[in-house]
A and B are shown apart, each in its own frame.
Chain A
Amino acid sequence: MTNCPTLIVTVGLPARGKTYISKKLTRYLNWIGVPTKEFNVGQYRRECLKIYKSFEFFRPDNEEGLKIRRQCAMAALNDVRQYLSVEGGQVAVFDATNTTRERRGTIIKFAEQNGFKVFFVESVCEDPDVIAQNIVQVKLGSPDYIHCNTEEAIEDFMKRIKCYESSYQPLDEVLDRDLSYIKIMDVGRRYLVNRVLDHIQSRIVYYLMNIHITPRSIYLCRHGESDLNIKGRIGGDSGLSARGTEFAKSLRKFIQDQNIKDLKVWTSQMKRTIQTAECLGVPYEQWKSLNEIDAGVCEEMMYEEIQEHYPLEFALRDQDKYRYRYPKGESYEDLVQRLEPVIMELERQENILVVCHQAVMRCLLAYFLDKTADELPYLKCPLHTVLKLTPMAYGCKVESVYLGVDAVNTHRDRPEVRTLCLPHYIISLTRHFLLTAQRM
């Protein structure tokens, strides 16, 4: 997706959502497979200063403070260089106020020297309610204000913002017309997009234009237990078992009790999710992209049968469950790619219930909870359990509700001892010969 690494640089007064955007963007890019890391200069400052006394540190005439802050920015940029040039990172998100043209000039020069593309993300907001809400949600809990009471903290933070205001030079339509940037105004009411250079910047802009901060919850669950589940067979397109139908009814009651405003319901195009949604008695939308992972030649097999007929494949899968692709089927990595439009639309939506499948739910969950590719295929998503995700501060609150209807367990843990410990190239070679032999 990218040739030269990209440096995303946030711009904006304190409490404008820069860190929120940085973390969310980093999570999204990593999920779609673009190695991304964020560098929060405030963190560097906290490591340097150990104890935060008051807003006075940020006064524009505090020379000692300015020196330390400049050093911290440099240290962070150094780590950016390490990440992008040495560690194979593709995107670095430089999260700081970067409110002066001078500071941005320094960053641009740094990027030029190192062959990085620069893309600015400026957040502009003057709505006092939004800013107050922001402070309450993330600043009061900050390490800076651990020893203050709420009023003290808010008062100090407002004075902190004031320290930046006088020297704030927003990105200028004329002076900065050669820079690549997006200006986000009033939490997404309006955007100004300038000089998008490449694919990754285009995707970043699209993503940023689809996220919102309106409070809402996302409910994730699997279909009710299916007939093939009971038989221990993977994939297929079977209907619900008796217990699965019971779950669907319990789900209906649960949803009603939750009293959710304007709930949307999504399912896949497979019988078991559709039958589950049918019991809810509300309209639902079917997405083919939510269909379970295609197990190719292993469709409708039991794990014992896979072990018997495809022992090599079975072992390869355990070696790298995320990237492994069933012959004539899909990998988790493929799943993530086909789920990307679902995630994009989930970001746009508000209250929503997604009735899906084990592998699909693992992918969605990994996105919301920032799980790595390594962990993703082993996330626990048991049948008959609803996960309620509520975005909160910089992350997601998770509530797990088991609806009290028994079901089989379909979770297969990462095996302790790998059944095959041969180097990968020997396995690939063996596989190649086996397939060639099969053909003859």
Chain B
Amino acid sequence: PEEEAEEEEEEHLFTSVPQFCNSPTMIVMVGLPARGKTYISKKLTRYLNWIGVPTKMFNVGQYRREAVKIYKNFEFFKPDNEEAMRIRKACAAAALKDVTAYFTKEQGQVAVFDATNTTRERRAIIISFAKEKGYKVFFVESICDDPEIIAENIRQVKFGSPDYVDRDIDEAMEDFIQRIDCYRASYMPIDDERDRKLSYIKIFDVGNRYLVNQVQDHIQSRIVYYLMNIHVTPRSIYLSRHGESELNLLGRIGGDSGLSPRGQKYANALATFIKGQNIRDLKVWTSHMKRTIQTAEALGVQYEQWKALNEIDAGVCEEMTYEEIQENYPEEFALRDQDKYRYRYPKGESYEDLVHRLEPVIMELERQENVLVICHQAIMRCLLAYFLDKPADELPYLRCPLHTVLKLTPIAYGCKVESFFLNIEAVNTHRERPVNVDINRNPEEALQTVPDHI
């Protein structure tokens, strides 16, 4: 019982994020092909995982591709194709089975069920499945009749699909349009009267308008808020750290020092780079710390300061070198190497805390268009992990060197990344996970991966 109590206490102490949901939630997409269902599914899954809600996507099209090795043409989707109907129903059932496994065996909290789900019959099956298992259901329906948006969608993601790998563009486009027509006749959108007891959001014309019905709980409210803030307008996000700082040179972490001479050079180089990029209506964000502000000053444009972008608070270890941390807090140092994501510096923060305080920044980044964020190493790792869908154990080891700008451009279902080193030398501040993370390791093993400094 003493052990149990200790374990329970540990559990309490490590619950740094309030529990978002009790019963698992199924998010069920609804809509004709090329309405952005998979785009939304992937993005939502990425966001939920980043904020700490274990989420997984189940794309029924994938199951179909596994069942029917070769896609011939749209005829597969004809409503009178009984053989195909059987296969498609079986695929949906297989996906639902995997959803159950995800919830019961893998501690998943949210499953995104990505398929057209365009008939009331299909949705009824899902609802009854969920009811039986005690899962909540939230529908996300995407409605769009703008031919240009649909064509752009097809161009961006359908041509690259395994279904059309050996087709030329015009063939693929024609086939896909006919595929859409197969669904159209039997499409029954969620009905505001008959379905008034269901929980759902209807997204019209890529976010022009929304209808939200019966939001049940916190996680659904967060999902609605997120979906209402994302957009598909082309734009780029530039991420960079401040220029090299005085404390960087000394190998000291944290603090609030100004730029070193090389850091100042970088700020000027950044200004030149940004001008060269010729970006329309660029917004610039910094933290409240001197080194990011000084960097932004060199750009000669307006910038907004966010306290939420301040570097991770290293608590008692602020302004120490790694050698000093090893000397004064060897056990803490080892614990950090054991679980760098969740480890919280005494009187400081953890990466997990960072993600929590960066969530409003991410939400606003989603709303914005072209933005340059001048921030810090740990911060940039968190933001990058969000955009590139990196899991918690990789996040604290992402490489974000000084004097390098990352240009992220959302494309298809992901993000194109271009890295620009602006040719100004700087110290390396990246510390890899050492081999030995045991608290009884000797100092050499702990300091094995510390980068050079003055």
Interface residues, chain A, with chain B CB atoms under 8 Å away: 173, 177, 189-196, 199, 202, 205-206, 209-210, 266, 269, 274, 285-289, 299, 328, 334, 337-338, 345, 348
Contacts and interface: CB of A to CB of B under 8 A. Distances in A.
B228 A190 contact: no
Contacts of B318: 328
B50 to A, nearest CB: 16
Contacts, number: 72
A192 B229 contact: no
Contacts of B347: 299
Interface stretch (B15-23, B118-126, B322-330, B370-378): B15-23
13 contacts: A173-B209, A190-B213, A190-B214, A191-B211, A191-B213, A193-B228, A194-B209, A209-B225, A266-B18, A274-B12, A288-B16, A289-B356, A337-B308
Interface of B: 12-13, 15-16, 18-19, 192, 196, 208-215, 217-218, 221, 224-225, 228-229, 307-308, 318, 347, 353, 356-357, 364, 367
A228 to B, nearest CB: 14
B367 A192 contact: no
A83 B383 CA distance: 39
A126 to B, nearest CB: 13
Contacts of B229: 202
Contact of A209 (B13, B16, B215): B215
- B-side interface mostly: mixed
Contacts of B208: 194-195
Contact of B210 (A193, A199, A286, A287): A193
B209 A286 contact: no
* A-B residue pairs, 10 tightest by C-beta: A193-B210, A191-B212, A190-B213, A194-B209, A206-B225, A285-B18, A192-B211, A286-B15, A288-B16, A210-B221
A82 to B, nearest CB: 28
Contacts of B225: 206, 209
Given A191-B211, A206-B228, A266-B18, 9 more contacts: A189-B213, A190-B211, A191-B212, A193-B212, A193-B228, A194-B208, A199-B367, A202-B229, A287-B18
Contacts of B19: 285
B212 A338 contact: no
A289 B16 CA distance: 10
B313 to A, nearest CB: 9
A337 B212 CA distance: 27
A348 to B, nearest CB: 6
Nearest to B306: A337
Contacts of A205: 228
A328 B215 CA distance: 40
Contact of B218 (A177, A266, A286, A348): A348
A196 B228 contact: yes
B231 to A, nearest CB: 10
Contacts of A287: 18
Contacts of A348: 217-218, 221
Contacts of A299: 347
Contacts of A196: 228
**Most chain A CB inside 10 Å of its own CB: which residue of B13, B19, B212, B308:** B212
Nearest to A284: B12
Given A209-B215, A334-B307, A345-B218, A199 B209 contact: no
B364 A199 contact: yes
Contacts of A285: 15, 18-19
Contacts of A206: 225, 228
A434 to B, nearest CB: 16
A177 B204 CA distance: 12
Contacts of B357: 338
Nearest to A328: B318
A328 B307 CA distance: 12
A206 B217 CA distance: 13
A33 B356 CA distance: 21
A193 B214 contact: no
B209 A193 contact: yes
Nearest to B204: A194
B271 to A, nearest CB: 24
Contacts of A338: 357
A288 B353 contact: yes
Contacts of A269: 13, 16
Given A202-B367, A288-B356, A209 B212 contact: yes
Contacts of A173: 209
A23 B15 CA distance: 36
